[in-house]
Amino acid sequence: MSAAVGLLFALAGFRLYVSLSLPLVRYGAGLALFAVIYFIAGGNALLLTVMILIFENSKIQRLTSSNPSGFKDSWIQKKWNFGILLLPVLLPWLAWRMIYTVPISEAYFAQTPANFLFPTIASKAAWLSIPVLYLILRLFANKYNQWKLSLWKSLVANCIFIFAMTAIGAYSAYDRKADMLNRMAFDLQQDKFDSVIALGKAYPNSNRLAIYLNNIALAESGQMPYRMFQFRQIGSAGLFLDWQQTYFSTWYLGEIYYRLGIIPEAEHCAFESLVSSPREPNAQVLQRLVITNIVRRDSITADKYLRYFDRSFAYRKWARQQRINLALAMADTAFHLPGTPTPSRHSDFFMVYQQPDYTLTRLLEANPKHRLAFEYLMAYYMLQKNIEMVKWCMDKYYNNFDYPVLPAHFEEALMVYQNAVLAGDELFTQYPVSRATRDRFERYAQAFKAAQGNKRNFEQLKKQFGNTYWYYVHFIDPYSLQKKDEKNRY
């Protein structure tokens, strides 16, 4: 928004400049306008300079009674050209030396695509197209004057041009994948798990962040043990993100720890996101810091972050409610903040980001009935194809939960275990795998054998059993998928 508003300031300044008829007055106003717009709109003032130069130096006829032959070059204009070129070089440098504590590139190009966090060719081209289009207009100005278009024809032509440019710009600038990711992240914050899952299903390729958000939604809605392999999976990398010192990756990384109830780590990730952001504080991150500090009964820190919201028009009501919650939390140790995960009970331990099973195991040791931790630990071992640890996890924790029947993916994993270690039917006494799952596994084994070297049979196998853990074990290579995903991780 700031870049767009800065651009409008530059164009408004140019419109004011060209409205001045007397050359000497216009020249003086141009110098003043550049200085004012530079301190308002940053590098967008450079556009003003370029367009002024085009306006003053393009050789066109201004068919007016006061200037029938056009304004000709003079020594004043030559001096002016030198001054208007010197000012954009000198003023940002002086501001950098004496006013701003920013890199020199930002002193010259702040609020322009050259200084965007993730600049694209489209954004740069759009920015540069403004003086280019104006130059084309000036070159064809004489011809345009000769056409002598009526007002309504000129208006219609301009409307068509603006509509076409808007449509082309909207189409070329719209990033469907990024929009879907943003919607998934937003809906997850609002606990709209069905919406997140639907978007995850429709996402056009294998994106690690999309898989990560989708898996959280599956787990929070109780569907992970039943439907996880109906969606794209790239191994355990789709359950936990890597620690990276960028504000967006640490923010997303903290989401699963927040959901698991590891409040100190959720606060840590939010704080790292806050201090590593290249822009102003993010409201979403600050809200998470307020919530985590209320849960931790840290009134001083919670108050510090709430002060950001107290005078905010959009968040003032939310801040008042959180101050009420803070008072209740400080007065009653049993108070639970509505809409937040239950904080996990655990002793202090180091976070080992490369070994999330260590974290999950510590949570289950402190609270053996931590259902989300159990299902994530099962999913972690299943995605790693560590079938022995899957059986160990089932033996140690499964009976702590009241599943009405064995979840489908747990049944499929147990069938893999039985065939891997050649266990007898006594396994089904301990874990009553349904007859339907056992019959389906026999059909899968036959289809797997028939698909060897036969593309058509393989397509049939994928169509029938592509949503099973068995297909994942045989045909999905998480290591190659993770390596491929490194190019566009999040």
User: What are residue 234's DSSP bridge partners?
Assistant: 236
Model confidence at 173, in pLDDT bands (50, 70, 90)? confident
Q: pLDDT (tens digit, 9 = 90+) per residue, 328-351?
A: 999 998 999 988 888 888 777 788
Model confidence at 319, in pLDDT bands (50, 70, 90)? very high
Using the predicted structure, report yes or no on whether residue 454 has a pLDDT greater than 90: no
Q: pLDDT (tens digit, 9 = 90+) per residue, 224-244?
A: 999 999 999 999 989 998 887
Residue in the block written with tokens 């020594």 = 75
How distant is the alpha carbon of residue 82 from its chain centre?
A: 45
Q: Which residue type occupies 48?
A: L
Q: pLDDT (tens digit, 9 = 90+) per residue, 247-289?
A: 578 889 999 999 999 999 999 999 998 888 877 778 899 999 9
Looking at residue 268, its pLDDT comes to: 93
pTM of the shown model = 0.72
Using the predicted structure, report yes or no on whether residue 188 has a pLDDT greater than 90: yes
Mean pLDDT, range 90-99, rounded to an integer: 91
Torsion angles phi and psi, residue 55, rounded to 5: -60, -45
Looking at residue 298, its pLDDT comes to: 94
Looking at residue 146, its pLDDT comes to: 57
Looking at residue 442, its pLDDT comes to: 94
DSSP SS3 for 234: strand
Residue in the block written with tokens 């702590």 = 400
Pick from 7-11, 122-126, 128-132, 182-186: least confident: 122-126
Looking at residue 219, its pLDDT comes to: 96
Q: CB within 8 A of 311, min separation 6: which ones?
A: none
The 3-state DSSP composition of the chain as helix, strand, coil percent (nearest 5) reads: 70, 0, 30
Using the predicted structure, report yes or no on whether residue 139 has a pLDDT greater than 90: no
d(CA 479, CA 406): 29
Looking at residue 211, its pLDDT comes to: 93
d(CA 478, CA 486): 12
Pick from 98-112, 165-179, 397-411, 475-489: least confident: 475-489
d(CA 20, CA 14): 10
Are the beta carbons of 468 and 228 closer than 8 angstroms? no
DSSP SS3 for 212: helix
- Ranked by mean pLDDT, the top range of 118-122, 124-128, 364-368 is 364-368
d(CA 109, CA 278): 15
Looking at residue 75, its pLDDT comes to: 60
Model confidence at 11, in pLDDT bands (50, 70, 90)? very high
DSSP state letter for 383: H
Q: CB within 8 A of 47, min separation 6: which ones?
A: 7, 10, 11, 14, 127, 130, 131
Model confidence at 74, in pLDDT bands (50, 70, 90)? low
Model confidence at 63, in pLDDT bands (50, 70, 90)? very low
Mean pLDDT of the chain: 86
CA neighbor of 37 nearest in space, from 27, 49, 26 = 49
- DSSP string of 279-342? SSPPHHHHHHHHHHHHHTT-HHHHHHHHHHHHT-TTTHHHHHHHHHHHHHHHH-TT---TTSPP
Looking at residue 62, its pLDDT comes to: 46
Are the beta carbons of 274 and 247 closer than 8 angstroms? yes
Pick from 21-30, 58-67, 109-118, 133-142: least confident: 58-67
Q: What does the buried/exposed string (b/e) look like for 384-415 if buried means 16 or more CB atoms within 10 Å of the residue's CB? A: ebebebbbebbeebbeeeeeeebbbbbbbbbb
Looking at residue 455, its pLDDT comes to: 85
d(CA 85, CA 30): 11
Instruction: Identify the residue with better confidence: 99 or 378.
Output: 378
Q: CB within 8 A of 299, min separation 6: which ones?
A: 293, 326, 330
Mean pLDDT, range 12-22, rounded to an integer: 90
